[in-house]
Amino acid sequence: MRRYRVLAAASLLILPALLRGLWYFRGFYQPAEPIRLPSFTQIEPPQPPLTPAAGTTESAGQAEDLSGKVVVIDRAHSNQFQLPELDTLTQALLTRGATLQEVNAGDEFESTSFGSSDALFAFSSRSLQTRLKYASAYVVVAPQSTFSEAEIQHVARFVSRGGRLLVVLDPTRGGGGIDIFGFVLSGSAQDVSSVNLLLEPHDLSFSNDYLYNVLENEGNFRNVFLSPGEPADLTGDLSQVVFYAARSVATRQGSAVLVGDDSTFSSSTDRGGGLAAVAASPDGRVLAVGDLTFLTPPYDRVADNSQLIQNLAAFLLGGDREQDLTDLPYLFTRPVQVLTSTAFPVQSETLQALQSLQASLTSRGLPMSLTAEPSEGHDLLVTALYEPSDETDPYLASLGLTLPADQADGLLEVPGFGALDPQGIGLLAAVQDPERTTLVVLAEDEESLARLAENVGQGFLSDCVFQGLYGLCKLGEGAGFQSEESFDFNFDFGLEEPTIELPPTIPVPLTATPPPAPLP
Amino acid sequence: MQGQVQSGSGVKSVLLWVLLPLLAGLALATRVPRPVIGLIYLNDSIYAYTARDMISQLDYARQHPEVRGVVLVMDSPGGTVVDTEAVYLELARLRQSKPVVTMAQGMIASGAFYLSVGTDYVVAGPSAIIGNIGVISQLPPPPEVYEDLASTGPYKLFGSSRDAQLRSMEAIKQAFLQAVQLGRGDRLQIGPERLLTGEIWLGTEALRMGLVDEVGSVSQSVERAANLARVAHYRVVDLRQLAELPSAVTYFFFYETPEGVLTPYPRQPGLYLLYVPPWDGG
């Protein structure tokens, strides 16, 4: 009995707690599975695939000596970079013997008294045009301001005559940006339409995007690995390149030089597959590169980036630039000797004109001297009147000209132009052969000859019409041309460069007697 | 007289064997606490002060048996890396004994999402903002030497090179990705190529992607926590009160312009698991 009482008492003692427990608790919590955490201690920051042996020195040492070639770097379009950022590329160019020059927006403007913005623009354009006359390559990096129509035409013509064009954009060098952490940070809002106008004639265009890869990248999603495509001279010795935020480049007929894999996406579409960050024009003369950072230390030593830089240098100096009369006064590549006819005395105006030419040549490191007997290793400038001369006739004979003195009607006959009244007209003719470039400058009288020589020296050739070997320049009023509708002779002091008015210029062939070309 | 004695003995017996044990049992039953589902609110970014408060509440929940489950009610764009990771590790410790449920009330972005994947179950409002996986940071300036500001090493002033910081961010991102993959497990319906874009998604989208478990309300998340904890007739209590923490104060985490406009950007440079919404400059 007592046992039952104890059991009852114990039950009564436990029951409230048991009931309360059952009221509140329906079981015991069991973690569903072992709680797994990231392996913090195992995760290490990714390290770049450095290639210390990839080499500027080795590659450059084997490079061809290309001294005399000029690479012009654009600084005239609010370019968003500092020259030291191109050091690895410029060193590769200098090692090969190239000369570097900048083209700035205000260079020539500052030396004149013109003050309007129109004048600035015109001079900027002329400055670029002037440099492209003797350049082998033109490098444009991260431009912000617009290329004018004239500039685009100058560059297109430069490329059509064998010049090389390298355009580098970088999405981190944009004009737009955001204010974050109290600082204005530049972003990828750069307008690519301006530079795309420059590239449009060459079947290339940048996209307003950046490439990214969240799965396989070089330390960050925007640092993308790229594989070589075509052509071989640009992709030689490359197996993998890393770009650090890159725009994609599109081309229809050109070559995709460096492409991302299927997981490399464009920020504008979030899709990928075969996106190119470097592409070449169909003729291989223009290269669009979507990143600038890979050129700068320490990124120039990652993967095969240094080899790519060497390939770019070789590309820039690899063109075979054709020269013609439109490149005056930079037609010459050797020291220049000036041969004048003794049929007339050298006047002060002629000396002044020659001084202009000398200044132009000196700026290119080419000395100029007067001579009575041309010697080897020199280019030659022959100045003469439309009259027979023992000194100059040998040079005129090879040009196929018929001087007024040899014609019954007193007209000047120029192959391709026909018979012309020489009054008020100057004649330029160039002959290029492997040993020498000869430029013949002819005019009706000493005054006209001096003016023409001065225009040649200053490169003011907007009143000239070029065709094949020959150029005809207006020097005064005359009846040489029957109608001014045939040519645009508006004298504009060089502020307005001719654009589409001129007939297409035929590069100077390496023969002394070209076939006559019909008038356009 | 004998009957009175027997009656007295019976009363005593009842008192001794029934009433007394029952009273003792009732008293003992009061020692069985009513279960508590604790709420921890985060309506701020995750930085030193908010993280300290959260850790205090998590610690309270871990040490007090009556707290049977916890619901993180969050509306946060994330915060600093170190504070997020600190809270995340405390969550993992608590989950060994008690379930933790996340309620995404407004936004669980970046660091806040990091915390959510460290809980047992995630409930989100239909239009809550979810995701933004990744790291942001302002990089140190390019290497320079200053004439009037001396230091004893090239990175003494700014801590690291730009490149090194970028790579550190990548390591942090990898840990974040692992936390998501381990936390969500088989429930995850999208791969790293989508996760790592840093996108934000609505609650309903996040449900389809397996980033959350249910679209619902705070009360549903409390019920879920109770279910996981296997308790009923529970109390729902703000753990801040139980932990006797002072009212939440907002430290000046975000940058304020000289004109007094609060920006969505942190006041100090650093490494952040933070969602920065578009801002027009105020």
The residues spanned by each domain of chain B are 34-142+151-274
Nearest to B171 among A16, A43, A263 (CB): A43
Please tell me if residue A32 touches chain B, with a CB cutoff of 8 Å.
Answer: yes
Please tell me if residue A263 touches chain B, with a CB cutoff of 8 Å.
Answer: yes
Structure tokens at B76: 């946060």
Residue written as token pair 């390591």: B171
Q: Is B138 in Cβ contact with A181 (below 8 Å)? A: yes
Q: Is B234 exposed, middle or buried (0-12, 13-18, 19+ CB in 10 A)?
A: buried
Q: How close B42 gets to chain A, by Cα (Å)?
A: 22
Structure tokens at B152: 């004893």
Please tell me if residue A273 touches chain B, with a CB cutoff of 8 Å.
Answer: no
Nearest to A26 among B32, B230, B276 (CB): B230
The single-letter DSSP state of residue B11 is H
CATH code of the region A325-486: 3.30.379
- Report chain A residues whose CB lies below 8 A from the CB of B32: 17, 20-21, 24
Cα–Cα distance for residue pair B112/B126, rounded to 1 Å: 17
- Report chain B residues whose CB lies below 8 A from the CB of A183: 138
Hey, do A56-176+186-316 and A325-486 end up sharing a CATH topology, with the first three levels equal?
A: no
ipTM score of complex: 0.86
This prediction has a pTM of: 0.80
- Report chain A residues whose CB lies below 8 A from the CB of B138: 180-181, 183
Structure tokens at A190: 């750069």
Structure tokens at B50: 């908010």
User: Residues A248, A272: contact at Cβ < 8 Å?
Assistant: no
Interface test with A, best of B176, B230, B261, B274 (most A CBs within 10 A): B230
| Beta-sheet strands, E only, within A126-207 | 137-141, 164-168, 177-180, 183-186, 205-206
Structure tokens at A478: 């005359």
**How are beta strands A418-420 and B214-215 bridged, if at all?**
unpaired
Structure tokens at A127: 């400055």
**How are beta strands A164-168 and B78-80 bridged, if at all?**
unpaired
Radius of gyration of chain B (CA): 26
Interface test with A, best of B101, B170, B272 (most A CBs within 10 A): B170
Please tell me if residue A10 touches chain B, with a CB cutoff of 8 Å.
Answer: yes
Spell out the alpha helix ranges (H) of B210-274: 218-229, 239-242
User: How many helical (H) and strand (E) elements, i.e. helices and strands, does chain B have?
Assistant: 10, 13
Cα–Cα distance for residue pair B30/A28, rounded to 1 Å: 20
Cα–Cα distance for residue pair B109/A94, rounded to 1 Å: 52
- Report chain B residues whose CB lies below 8 A from the CB of A15: 22, 25
Peptide bond into A298 cis (omega under 30): yes
Please tell me if residue A344 touches chain B, with a CB cutoff of 8 Å.
Answer: no
User: Residues A466, A474: contact at Cβ < 8 Å?
Assistant: no
- Report chain B residues whose CB lies below 8 A from the CB of A261: none
- Backbone angle region of A328, left / alpha / beta, with phi > 0 → left and psi within -120 to 50 → alpha: beta
Interface test with B, best of A179, A293, A300 (most B CBs within 10 A): A179
CB atoms within 10 A of CB A201: 16
Which residue ranges make up each domain of chain A? 56-176+186-316, 325-486
Cα–Cα distance for residue pair A348/A450, rounded to 1 Å: 9
Amino acid at B176: F
What's A56-176+186-316's CATH class? Answer: alpha beta
Per-residue tens of pLDDT for chain A, all 520 residues: 778 888 988 998 999 999 999 999 989 898 877 889 999 999 999 988 887 544 444 444 455 666 678 999 999 998 999 999 999 999 999 999 998 999 887 655 433 333 333 434 444 455 788 889 889 999 999 998 889 999 999 999 999 999 999 999 999 887 555 555 555 555 545 578 889 999 999 999 999 999 999 999 999 999 999 999 988 889 989 999 999 999 999 999 999 999 999 999 999 999 998 999 999 999 999 999 999 999 998 899 999 999 999 999 999 999 888 888 888 878 888 888 888 877 666 667 777 778 878 887 887 778 888 888 888 888 888 888 888 877 777 887 777 888 888 878 888 888 888 888 888 888 988 888 878 888 888 888 888 888 888 888 877 787 888 887 788 888 876 554 444 444 444 434 333 443 333 333 333 333 333 333 443 3
Amino acid at B200: I
| Residue A477: predicted pLDDT | 65
Domain B34-142+151-274 in CATH 3.90.800.10? The answer is no
In chain A, positions 210-249, which contact chain B (CB-CB < 8 Å)?
214-215, 219-221
List, for residues B122-154, the tens digit of each pLDDT value: 999 999 999 999 999 998 888 888 888 888 988
> What is the four-CA torsion angle of A111, A116, A121, A127, rounded to 10 degrees?
-10
CA distances (Å), origin A88, targets A29, A93, A301, A304, A444: 64, 9, 10, 14, 53
Q: Is A21 in Cβ contact with B232 (below 8 Å)? A: no
Q: Is A20 in Cβ contact with B234 (below 8 Å)? A: no
Please tell me if residue A182 touches chain B, with a CB cutoff of 8 Å.
Answer: yes
Structure tokens at A406: 């040899």
Q: Is B24 in Cβ contact with A13 (below 8 Å)? A: yes
User: Residues A429, A487: contact at Cβ < 8 Å?
Assistant: no
Q: Is A24 in Cβ contact with B25 (below 8 Å)? A: no
